[in-house]
Structure 1
Amino acid sequence: MSKVWLIAAGAAALTIASCGKSDDNAESIDNAIELADEAKTDAERKADHAKLAAENLAAAEEFLAENAARDDVNVTDSGLQYMVLEEGPEDGHSPVSTDLVVVHYVGTLKDGTEFDSSRARGAAAQFPLNQVIPGWTEGVQLMSEGDRYRFFIPPALAYGENGTPGGPIGPNEALIFDVELIKVHNPERNLEIAKQFLEENAKKDGVQTTDSGLQYQVITQGNNDGKSPEATDTVEVHYQGTLLNGTEFDSSYARGETIEFPLNRVIPGWTEGVQLMNEGDKYRFFIPPALAYGEMGTPGGPIGPNEALVFEVELISVK
């Protein structure tokens, strides 16, 4: 990210006298600017910051006033502005502030400069909605799963007078976010969905349920003489993990290589389930939340609180 250097008024302009020495001159300019900034007193730096904050605030207020006049822009009581870009299905859930949400987003300054993007990283973001800037906490609660909104966030609902230290967001900057709400994780609702799914799944042909509540289905069987592991054994497996809606969150097949691990170092559903298998077997496991990642899910995603999981597991060998 670039660093904006504030040069005192009246500083002499530096020109590049020779094209052949442009790199050296550019470096000299950078060094001179850096030295000039370091030479400033705390009072001077605070004055520069206050001036920039005032200029940015005036520009933000002007931008937001003009933007609010657009027919497709809505304005809330707090001053948050938003546009509906796309609506999701009618039965999509809307979050409350304490929910965990999964989103894709692109964040830009009002001049279009992109400063953050989950899409550029190629992975959706997951976070508690009450642990982000106020404009997000308020705005995303207006959405339902599948919706895409554009938010225009005033400085007071973003990073305020401080901005983000070191950049890229300056003091009193208005921000623009395009947000797609992919999923809302509510622990109570996820638990109820998991219970309903497992109750129905247990009635299907070929599905067996253990005393712990783990469900499994034999897909293929290996040789009768294949070893069966104990909890303290190390196993080699191929596997694919999905959520109940079919979303794949992990796969050794996708990585193109098997994985080895001590069987007592994984989630309880795996520790119990793989012990039911022999080398060469392939099983499908339906794992209740209590035998998976429980109320916490996986911090940062992709597994939400109290999510039931589905794994297809092929036991390659027992070490």
Structure 2
Amino acid sequence: MSVTAVPLRPISRRALVFLWIGILVAIGGGVALAFTGSTKPGIATASGLRYEVIEPGSGPKPTDTDVALVNYRGTLEDGTEFDANNQMPLPVAAMVPGFSEGLKLMSKGAKYKFWIPPELGYGAEDKRNPDGSIAIPGNSTLVFEVELIDFLPEAVIRQMQMQQMQQQMGMPPGGPGGPPPGAEPPAP
């Protein structure tokens, strides 16, 4: 059996050096990507939200119909803080899409960090302070550190608010049609 040899043109030493440098850079980048999984921080969801679990928490997770009690701090990628609150009740479905999605990943007691891309945050529109200055520039990635303290279904929150209003107005616990003030409640 014969092998046909095809003569190759000689390659300059300079071209070989660039070839080897390119190969080493590609290998180095591939190794770095293999260890980190990404060049961006956190775990990515299908929508593009990125998150990091700082403390996992336990138990069930909130849904769109819940109101979450959270501690949070919101910054831009450069660290500029634009918002922070402690023990803030937030209707899960009423937040920007990325924040709502992130809350629904958390269990009570969990602490997460979210990186919300513009399309899941405020988009291309600037968000302004009451004085007219720009609080959040358009196309900004929002970074939130969030602690989920607790959450309750929105219906329970409404019921609690109604009971509180009734007490403030001097209405009986049963609402209209309940026993008159001073009357004893019916025996069970």
Match of 2:45 among 63, 76, 100: 76
The separation in 2 between residues aligned to 1:266 and 1:127, in whole angstroms, is 29
Please state how far the C-alpha of 1:169 moved relative to its aligned partner: 0.3
| Structure with higher RCO (Cα < 8 A, 6+ apart) | 2
SS of 2:57's equivalent? coil
Aligned-partner SS, 2:146: strand
Structure 1 residues not aligned, in runs of 5+: 1-65, 192-262, 277-319
Deviation per residue, 1:220-249 (Å, 9 max, x gap): xxxxxxxxxxxxxxxxxxxxxxxxxxxxxx
Moved over 2 A (4+): 66-70, 266-272
The match for 2:151 is: 184
Offset from partner CA, 1:66-120 (integer Å, 9 cap, x none): 99436x710001110000011223xx2201112111111000111111111103x
What SS does the aligned partner of 1:88 have? coil
Code of the residue aligned with 1:155 in structure 2: it is: P
Q: Which residue of 2 aligns with 1:269?
A: 173
Whole-angstrom CA distance in 1 between matches of 2:99 and 2:106? 11
Alignment of 1:133 onto 2:103: no
State the superposition RMSD in angstroms: 3.4
Structure-1-length-normalised TM-score: 0.37
Structure with greater Cα Rg: 2
1:116 pairs, out of 63, 79, 83, with: 83
Match of 1:174 in 2: 141
Alpha-carbon distance change, 267 to 86 in structure 1, aligned in 2, over 3 angstroms: farther
Please report the TM-score for the alignment, with normalisation by the length of structure 2.
0.61
Q: Using the aligned pairs only, state the percent identity.
A: 38
Answer yes or no: is the 8 Å Cα contact 1:109–1:173 preserved in 2: yes
- Structure 2 distance, partners of 1:68, 1:162, is 28
Contact 2:57 2:109 in 1 (8 A): yes
- Equivalent-residue separation in structure 2 for 1:270 and 1:149 (angstroms): 41
Gaps of 5+ in 2: 1-35, 158-166, 184-188
